[in-house]
Amino acid sequence: MPILGIEKNPFLKTKSIFNSSDDVQKTRLELEKSTEARFKEIDRNKSLAIDESRKKYLD
Amino acid sequence: MSELDKSDNFFILNLSSDDDWINFGNNLGFDISKAYLKKIREYLKPVVKSVIVEYKYECKDYKNSYHNFYSKKFTEYNRKCSRAHFFNVEMDLENIWALDDKYKDNYIGYIVLRPLDRFSIGRTMLDPSLVGVKDATLFTCSNEVNLLGSTLQVQAFPFIGQDTDVTVCAHAAIWMILRYFSQKYNYYPEIKPFEIAQLTKDVSLGRLLPSKGLTMSQISEIIANYGMHPDLYIKNYSKANFDKILYYYIESGIPIIASVDNRHALAVFGHCTELNFQSLVEYDHKGFKYYNSADLINGFIVNDDNYLPYRYLLKKKIAGDKVSEYSHSEVDSFIAPLNEKIYLSAEEMETLALSVISDPNLGFKKHTKKFKDDKIILRMFLTSSRKYKHFRRRNPMYVGLEKFYIEQPMPRFIWVVEISTVDKYKEGKVIGEIIFDSTANKHDMFSFMYIHYPGFFLVNDRNEIGDAPSRFKVSEIALENITEYSIFISNLRRV
């Protein structure tokens, strides 16, 4: 029965996926690159939505 | 004999014929429009067998409108309402003194009738499972009712009709959602109709009372002044995933105020239960192919204050009982009222999740040990970490992985992206998940707390803000130990 702490679970074998901080930073930058365009679109849409919301009248 | 008893305070009637329904309409304590009586009769006749009408009922919601508005009008309005309680069995007179012993499972709920010439339907709580709602996964809250010395409970989503003076459809939709929150969670305050109308200070379109309507901007303002955080979506500016975002919030147990046909407001609080696997569409995000559980839904469950509660807003309009005259495609905008601890919105979470799952270093294809060639489906929702830990304790994962979720501190709310195969999803099983911190900034690329793919388990120390590899504890699990496990079932109720 696994007890507290990931290290103590006999079914889990520790491994590394990053060898250095540079590797981590490289992954971070790739994620930033892949999300950049979509986040810009979200921000632009939000701004347009706020303007539009002043005109949408529900009765 | 159908009429059981009548006094100055109560009227008790078994409803077994059309004459009984006429008798009911004639004994409400005051006249209401025949159109509204017809509406109530048509809605409840298939299921109701008896009614107790409580006269001189002091309705807190009506009183709020009465004292602040109706009492100032030239016409004299009655200060008190009547409240009609409905049961799905015929009553015996001697049992009315022990309603909670004899009829607690037969209690359908109540409708408050306001002494207004038109628009008489006030606060209404009717159990969906007892009024013929089927194939619905929706939110309900509990309401305790005191009647003739007994305490009865009804599980329902709150409903109220507009009165066209203090409230119009938008106010009614807001009231329904905020009343749900205050009934369900005691840290949200209870708010009444006139108070809702006063929460907007924007009078640039004219007077607030009598109300002519509200803009989506005013609705956002009301939600914000209430103490929640409104997230606004307009279809024209979110075409690609407007429907999906709406579904993510509903699947998270967050009711929505939706605008249909650019003029009418609905409260959205559930979806159809039956899943349509024929409607799945394959998406490709940077080479990661997947399906989205949002595409499985045939429609949503809504309250429309022009009718009585629980209507189906379907993707394909069909004729039928409780089917809305609007279709799902006519939703042109919506507002999701978010708790203050939810900083990451649904579309921001979705963007981050797809980036991670398709990433060359962190992605599914690189690290999964099983199901590599299966059709993958993603299900995205927000939940409280408390509920998630509780569910996982009762529905464990393989090799005790759930214990890491249970043991680790988490923020109050988490976004969960469940990963499954289409075949496993049909069985109610999943194969992995990515869990995000809902208080993260969208620009925080490491906002995930856990990444779990079959045979791969990553824990990200969210207290580390740098790029040290030691912030990630990564483990792998042998192929023979990997199995699927239960999909998370939230607090949505199936009827």
Domain co-membership, B397 together with B313: no
Using CA coordinates, name the residue in chain A closest to B257: A58
Indicate the residue among B338, B373, B399 that finishes a domain.
B338
Query: Is pLDDT at B115 greater than 80 in this prediction?
Result: yes
Domain co-membership, B313 together with B330: yes
- Where chain A has pLDDT below 70, the residues are 1-4
Using CA coordinates, name the residue in chain A closest to B203: A54
Model confidence band, residue B196 (pLDDT cutoffs 50, 70, 90)? very high
**Mean of pLDDT values over B275-285:** 95
Pick from B282, B143, B168: nearest CA to B219: B168
Domain co-membership, B388 together with B459: yes
Which residues of chain A make contact with B169, given a CB cutoff of 8 A?
Answer: 58-59
Mutation pick from B217, B331, B343 vs chain A, by most beta carbons of A within 10 Å, is B217
> What is the span of the domain harbouring residue B101?
3-156
This model of the complex carries an ipTM of 0.94
Q: Domain tally for chain B?
A: 3
**Mean of pLDDT values over B210-218:** 87
Using CA coordinates, name the residue in chain A closest to B455: A12
Q: What is the reported pLDDT for B1?
A: 52
Domain co-membership, B104 together with B83: yes
Subunit contact B469:A21, Cβ cutoff 8 A: yes
**How far is A17 from chain B, CA to nearest CA, in Å?**
7
**Mean of pLDDT values over B11-29:** 95
Per-domain residue ranges of chain A: 20-59
Q: What is the reported pLDDT for B390?
A: 97
The answer to whether the CB of B397 falls within 8 A of the CB of B485 is yes
Does any domain span residue B36?
yes
Does any domain span residue B232?
yes
Domain co-membership, B304 together with B369: no
Domain co-membership, B331 together with B391: no
**Whole-number mean pLDDT of chain B?**
94
Q: What is the CATH number of the domain that holds B294?
A: 3.90.70
- Across the interface, which of B216, B367, B407 has its CB nearest the CB of A56? B216
B137-181 pLDDT, tens digit per residue, is 999 999 999 999 999 999 999 999 988 888 889 999 999 999 999
Domain co-membership, B323 together with B354: no
Q: What is the reported pLDDT for A56?
A: 79
Which residues of chain B make contact with A26, given a CB cutoff of 8 A?
Answer: 361
Integer-rounded Cα Rg, in Å, for chain A is 23
Which residues of chain B make contact with A37, given a CB cutoff of 8 A?
Answer: none
Question: Which pair of tokens denotes residue B202?
Answer: 């924007």
Q: What is the reported pLDDT for B212?
A: 78
Could you give the CA distance from residue B90 to residue B48 in angstroms, rounded to a whole number? 9
**Mean of pLDDT values over B246-272:** 96
Q: Residues of chain B with pLDDT > 90: what percent? A: 91
Model confidence band, residue B4 (pLDDT cutoffs 50, 70, 90)? confident
Q: Centre a 10 Å sphere on the Cβ of residue A23 and count the other Cβ atoms it contains.
A: 15
CB pairs < 8 Å spanning A and B: 163
- Across the interface, which of A11, A13, A34 has its CB nearest the CB of B286? A34
Using CA coordinates, name the residue in chain A closest to B260: A58
Q: What is the reported pLDDT for A1?
A: 47
The answer to whether the CB of B399 falls within 8 A of the CB of A12 is yes
**Mean of pLDDT values over B193-215:** 84
Q: What is the reported pLDDT for A3?
A: 55
Which residues of chain A make contact with B399, given a CB cutoff of 8 A?
Answer: 2, 9, 11-12
Question: For chain A, what is the largest distance between any 2 Cα atoms, rounded to a whole number of angstroms?
Answer: 62
Rounded to the nearest 10 degrees, the angle between the axes of helix B18-26 and helix B34-44 is 130
Q: Among the listed ranges A52-56, B341-345, B389-393, which one has the minimum average pLDDT value? A: A52-56
- Cα separations (Å) of B379 from B57, B251, B279, B287, B290? 46, 9, 15, 19, 11
Question: For residue A39, what is the enclosing H or E element?
Answer: helix A21-53
Using CA coordinates, name the residue in chain B closest to A49: B234
Q: Is B122 left (phi over 0), alpha (psi -120 to 50) or beta?
A: beta
Q: What is the reported pLDDT for B446?
A: 97
Indicate the residue among B338, B355, B370 that finishes a domain.
B338
SS3 at position B334 = strand
Domain co-membership, B332 together with B433: no
Task: Give the sign of the dihedral formed by CA A44, CA A48, CA A49, CA A54.
Answer: positive
Q: Centre a 10 Å sphere on the Cβ of residue B412 and count the other Cβ atoms it contains.
A: 13
Q: What is the reported pLDDT for A9?
A: 87
Q: Residue B232 forms beta bridges with which residues?
A: B335
**Mean of pLDDT values over B207-214:** 80
SS3 at position B492 = coil
Question: Which pair of tokens denotes residue B46?
Answer: 């298939």
Which residues of chain B make contact with A16, given a CB cutoff of 8 A?
Answer: 469, 474
Indicate the residue among B307, B338, B369 that finishes a domain.
B338
Could you give the CA distance from residue B387 to residue B410 in angstroms, rounded to a whole number? 11
Query: Is pLDDT at B112 greater than 80 in this prediction?
Result: yes
Domain co-membership, B324 together with B456: no
Does any domain span residue B165?
no
Model confidence band, residue B336 (pLDDT cutoffs 50, 70, 90)? very high
Q: What is the reported pLDDT for B167?
A: 84
Does any domain span residue B200?
no
The contacts of residue B239 (CB under 8 Å, 6+ apart) are none
**Mean of pLDDT values over B206-212:** 76
Q: Centre a 10 Å sphere on the Cβ of residue B420 and count the other Cβ atoms it contains.
A: 26
**How far is B248 from chain A, CA to nearest CA, in Å?**
16
Domain co-membership, B332 together with B353: no
B36-64 pLDDT, tens digit per residue, is 999 999 999 999 999 999 999 999 999 99
Q: Centre a 10 Å sphere on the Cβ of residue B318 and count the other Cβ atoms it contains.
A: 9
